[in-house]
Structure 1
């Protein structure tokens, strides 16, 4: 059951396409935040980001917000509208690749803004043209309790050995994905090569695991 759940997250829920669509929607909503007003309790108006503080306004945060931005003609929503239109037309940001951490790391700890600047600089791109996202995939069994038939009202924890000796030592992995918002072939090919070189330069002592194909490339060059 846990394996199936993890497999689905790898292949669908947190697939790189699902990941970037989710982040593109979030980016569009951030750009539209100050230009959309939602009426809440007592007629008070809220933005998208503050509507969570009012139950009545929060219930109005439905898929309709996506449609409202997409079908608007307000010049202030042009940037957000363009992003959503690109999603509809499958003009998605392209994934340059991903790098895995040895231990779980908070996205703010890796300072994605610095990554974005370094990856954008060689191509005269701005940091806004690069997006770094974090994906966590795990078995969700750290705090799982079990019930015995002899006492169905009492939950107990089992040791790893009691469950199975075939279980892995680690039950999660974390990936940092890097996307390029520019989609012309020349920029993408150059950015991909630079990303590969950058991954190789991220030494193991920095807590990152070099992708197998790049590790082999590094060995071939030595």
Structure 2
């Protein structure tokens, strides 16, 4: 394995808008300087949010570099404070690479692409994390980087470890299901994507980066979370625990998530444009194709099956649809929808409602709406779009802080959980659900019939009376 004194002269420093000067390991730089990683320059983190928040144009490229930096900060802090953990240089490099490559598999407009593929090919059950591991394999092979990894002391088991940190598998109870590292190093799997508590460096970076570009203030301090993190055995498995005095800081972190979701990610107009863009992609699916390996040309929803083809798929797919010279009716309809987005002629928001209890499902309201369309109306079920908005702190209706293990200054190896009852300043509930109904038609009679339908459906289901919007005098200028 190459000694640090040999490779430190090849480090590179990046100036980051969130973290300032970031110095990266030369192997990370080798990964960055590949077409597969450079593709992330052309995929927006916040998808269609930039149609509503004009400065929200940051990309997966800088986010991944930020996560790599924070992953290194946390793992090095643990190594320095607790040498008994036996964190090796290979461990540190693997954690950095997992942070760097964790989003390689995102498609155009990030999470929106997952929604599109799930609608177009529900049988795939496609998730971007799985695609990230496949793209990582392809990146290594296409750029002959396996030998470069070996120069820095990384073996096949380390590559497995990196992929396991990117896409975690579910274990069976107490059985250890990972191959990259033994149970004694379980805490390393909590740094990039923490499935136990939700406190991880991926969230720290995107909370801070998104809030900066959205112009929305968040108040949590990740520096203190790093400073007061400690690995302690919990139920015979080492976990990253937090000092008890940082409880409010942890609440602030989860509250930041809710604020960003409520204000930006689930913004009414963002959701409208999301649905319009997904409709356009569904219409264009079979008519826009990408060349993959062995000369196969893949339709949009299948491009993720071939990493060679997927490398060419970015946010530029919108312009590819608009500039395509095909004249199939579906393709022309896709172009019409995209043109409407750019002209701000959006689907109309009929109204929204909150269920009286959490047993009301998306399927319940969809079926109720279809049953309550007036008999003499030209409105059809295809004119209606139902969106379900869930605002929570990251653990559905649970208090996420109750998932975290804390320790006290006087007992640094003893953990406990802090219950909601210990503070009166936390919310009574940790989740709310909202159903929004949109109308694809801009005709006033259909819009009004959609409102009648929504009110009747809410009455049938015993839901609260919906808030209904006014019909705009022109196309929806929102």
Q: Per the shorter chain, which TM-score range? A: 0.7 to 0.9
**2:321 corresponds to 1:69:** yes
Unaligned runs of 5+ in 1: 204-208, 215-222
Find the counterpart in structure 2 of residue 43 from structure 1: 295
Deviation for aligned residue 1:155: 7.5
- 2:286 match: secondary structure: helix
Residues 138 and 7 (structure 1 numbering): CA distance in 2 closer, same or farther, change over 3 Å? same
Greater CA deviation, 117-126 or 74-83?
A: 117-126
Find the counterpart in structure 2 of residue 34 from structure 1: 286
Find the counterpart in structure 1 of residue 188 from structure 2: none
Contact kept, 8 Å, 2:379 with 2:449, in 1: the verdict is: no
Residues 212 and 184 (structure 1 numbering): CA distance in 2 closer, same or farther, change over 3 Å? closer
Contact kept, 8 Å, 1:123 with 1:191, in 2: the verdict is: no
Q: Where do 1:53-132 residues align within 5 Å?
A: 53-76=305-328, 77-101=331-355, 102-103=357-358, 107=362, 109-110=363-364, 112=366, 115-116=369-370, 118-119=372-373, 122-132=376-386
Residues 170 and 68 (structure 1 numbering): CA distance in 2 closer, same or farther, change over 3 Å? same
Bigger Cα Rg? 2
CA RMSD of aligned residues (A): 2.9
Contact kept, 8 Å, 1:120 with 1:129, in 2: the verdict is: no
Instruction: Name whichever structure is richer in strand by fraction.
Output: 1
**2:407 corresponds to 1:148:** yes
Find the counterpart in structure 1 of residue 455 from structure 2: 196
Residues 71 and 121 (structure 1 numbering): CA distance in 2 closer, same or farther, change over 3 Å? farther
Contact kept, 8 Å, 1:116 with 1:128, in 2: the verdict is: no
Find the counterpart in structure 2 of residue 135 from structure 1: 389
Q: Deviations over 1:40-88 (max 9, x none)?
A: 2333221111112222222322111111112223112101111111111
Residues 169 and 104 (structure 1 numbering): CA distance in 2 closer, same or farther, change over 3 Å? farther
TM-score in terms of structure 1 length: 0.78
Unaligned runs of 5+ in 2: 1-251, 469-478
Find the counterpart in structure 1 of residue 426 from structure 2: 167
Contact kept, 8 Å, 2:369 with 2:454, in 1: the verdict is: no
Contact kept, 8 Å, 1:120 with 1:130, in 2: the verdict is: no
Find the counterpart in structure 1 of residue 267 from structure 2: 15
Higher normalized contact order (CA 8 Å, seq sep 6+, divided by chain length): 1
Find the counterpart in structure 1 of residue 442 from structure 2: 183
